[in-house]
Structure 1
């Protein structure tokens, strides 16, 4: 039969045992935030652009003259047609698309919003 102190011991994974009460106390002392994860605006733009291109009825992304010139020179940009604004924890994406003739634009716009979210 085990004593109370043996029941409260936990293995740390390194072959060592610690008292369960000490482990719980150490866990309470950990900070809520360990660090920050930062995602570059360009990465968010690429993901939003790829998501928008998956929608039926979207035939391409509408970019600026500079993006068109870069594409002409052979530099493909997956972020073409996407403008990202980051304000604290809020990200706003403006997505500019070319829609197939005869498509229902409001339906496509709603689907793009859902895909990008």
Structure 2
């Protein structure tokens, strides 16, 4: 597990990737229009081997300078504009990460994997059979 290390006069602070992923996940789920976090292939493999995490759909990496790159895999509720939600998510997650951890954020990438229609009932769902 990669950790970001901040050195101070009184010692070092190490923040785990899981902390960054949790902050991003909570912020995303608290954003209007985000239905839920989607799973990735790695999340599916981890679930198969019973290593489920609380931050499915979040991938964290760091560049050579120590700046963080966040990739979110989300499902959006029907009726919301995808570009608006993606932009709002990028801004909110960057702000949350900087406020809580003071890390430099290089990028917040949003991958919309699904649109959820269940809030409108079964008559609004789309099917490939029609």
* TM, length-normalised to structure 1: 0.61
Q: Distance in 2 between matches of 1:63 and 1:51?
A: 17
Q: Which has the larger radius of gyration?
A: 1
How far is 1:84 from its partner? 0.4
Q: Distance in 1 between matches of 2:16 and 2:49?
A: 25
Q: How does 1:64-103 map to 2 (within 5 A)?
A: 64-68=40-44, 77-87=53-63, 88-103=65-80
- Confirm whether residue 104 of structure 1 aligns to residue 81 of structure 2: yes
Write out per-residue CA displacement over residues 48-92 of structure 1, whole angstroms, 9 at most, x where no aligned residue: 011001111100001124534766898763211110012343011
* TM, length-normalised to structure 2: 0.55
Which residue is 1:38 aligned to? 14
Q: 3-state DSSP class of the match of 2:12?
A: coil
Stretches of structure 1 that go unaligned for 5 or more consecutive residues are: 1-31
More strand by share: 2
TM-align CA RMSD: 2.4
Stretches of structure 2 that go unaligned for 5 or more consecutive residues are: 1-7, 95-130
> In the comparison of the two structures, how many residue pairs are matched?
86
Preserved CA contact (<8 Å) 2:40 2:73 = no
